[in-house]
């Protein structure tokens, strides 16, 4: 997804039963700072829905993006 304020954000998620793995990647450092600042609030909200949550915020892997 892309937003005017934050730029490009890639969201990958895996859900199996009550376990949610969420990975957020962004090339801009300012965007990563904002995502990390909201990470605990996002985790808390998802856990309040009964999910066991793992959230990862990172820069994109250049090797992974070479194939896209």
Predicted confidence band of residue 52 (pLDDT cuts 50, 70, 90): very high
pLDDT at 1: 82
User: Which residue shows structure tokens 């090797």?
Assistant: 63
CB atoms within 10 A of CB 22: 19
Look at residue 64 in the predicted model and tell me its pLDDT. Answer: 64
More confident: 67 or 34? 34
CA distances from 47 to 9, 14, 26, 38 (A): 22, 15, 24, 14
Predicted pLDDT at 65: 55
Cross-strand partners of 8:
2
Percentage of the chain lying above the pLDDT 90 cut: 76
The whole model's pTM is what?
A: 0.81
- Determine phi and psi for 33, rounding to 5 degrees: -60, -45
């Amino acid at each position: 997804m892309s937003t005017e304020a934050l730029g490009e954000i890639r969201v990958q998620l895996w859900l199996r039963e009550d376990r949610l793995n969420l990975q957020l990647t962004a090339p801009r450092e300012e965007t990563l700072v904002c995502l990390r600042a909201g990470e605990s609030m996002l985790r808390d909200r998802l856990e309040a829905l009964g999910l066991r949550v793992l959230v990862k915020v990172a820069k994109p892997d250049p090797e992974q993006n070479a194939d896209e």
